[in-house]
Chain A
């Protein structure tokens, strides 16, 4: 079964531009989460979507936004890029079961590595 697919894998942008990253979850997974990974801040939660609704949001400025489509695919957008937005952006999907179920494991994609010049 196909894993979590993220596109593009690598991209270079300049300050002030905007970028859209795409994530296709594992078939049947309805929850999609996004994380930012940088050497300085580590892995930080951006947001999580379920059934096209944002259920949780991390502590990021409004320049970071996302959405989820009816087929569970998700996109995240960063507008007015800053140098500090250079990072690996990881998407993860999860099969939604009971809240304490060990099956609620996040399966991650390979990430989109964004470089802002």
Chain B
């Protein structure tokens, strides 16, 4: 079974508008972490935001915020005030359990294209 599901293969957004990228996850662990990464065409994965399963507040980092709905196992990324440089592939990822193993399970990704 897929641990991370991203149902939107591609999205278009107008510059300066907000966009929400969907992510649902599947785990039986009580302790886990959720991550969003951005991958521009250059290939490097850039960390955007992190949400721990026990965090009570939704994470925010500048123009990025994570809409964490634990009961629904959903961790959607919201990008506010989109910029042309936001055009990239976005990946949701999960790290399960309390071990120190740093294995991430990634979703298939969502391609975001920002239009001027």
Listed in ascending order, the chain A residues whose CB lies under 8 Å from chain B are 31, 33, 35, 42-43, 45, 48, 50, 55-56, 58, 88, 90, 92, 94, 96, 99-100, 102, 104-111, 113
Query: CA of A94 to CA of B102 in the docked complex: distance in angstroms?
Result: 8
Contact A100 B33 (CB under 8 A): yes
Interface size on B, as a range, is: 20 to 34
CB atoms of A100 and B45 under 8 A apart: no
Interface centre among A88, A96, A104, A109 (most CB of B within 10 A): A104
Report yes or no: B50 in contact with A90, Cβ–Cβ below 8 A: no
Judged by DSSP, the binding face of B is loop
- Bound state CA distance, A56 and B96, in angstroms? 13
How many A-B contacts are there with CB distance less than 8 Å?
72
Could you say which of B52, B91, B104, B107 contacts A100, with CB atoms under 8 Å apart?
Answer: B52
Q: A96-B100, A100-B52, A100-B54 are in contact. Are A108 and B106 (CB under 8 A)?
A: no
Name the residue on A nearest B48 (C-beta): A105
Expressed in whole angstroms, the minimum distance between the Cβ of A27 and any Cβ of chain B is 17
- Check A104/B102 contact, CB under 8 A, given A42-B109, A43-B91: yes
B101 in the interface (beta carbon within 8 A): yes
Residue in B42, B50, B101, B107 whose CB lies within 8 Å of A110: B42
B43 to A42, Cβ gap below 8 A?
A: no
Contact A55 B98 (CB under 8 A): no
A106 to B98, CA, bound (A): 16
CB-nearest residue of chain A to B50? A102
Tell me, rounded to whole Å, the shortest Cβ–Cβ distance linking B13 to chain A: 23
The yes or no answer to B76 lying at the interface (CB within 8 A) is no
- A105 lies within 8 A of B50 (CB): yes
| For the complex of A and B, 3 pairs with smallest distance between CB atoms | A108-B45, A43-B106, A110-B44
- Knowing that A102-B33, A104-B33 touch, tell me 10 more A-B residue pairs with CB under 8 angstroms: A35-B106, A45-B105, A55-B100, A90-B43, A100-B33, A105-B47, A105-B50, A106-B45, A108-B45, A109-B44
Candidates A43, A48, A113; contact of B101 at CB < 8 Å? A48
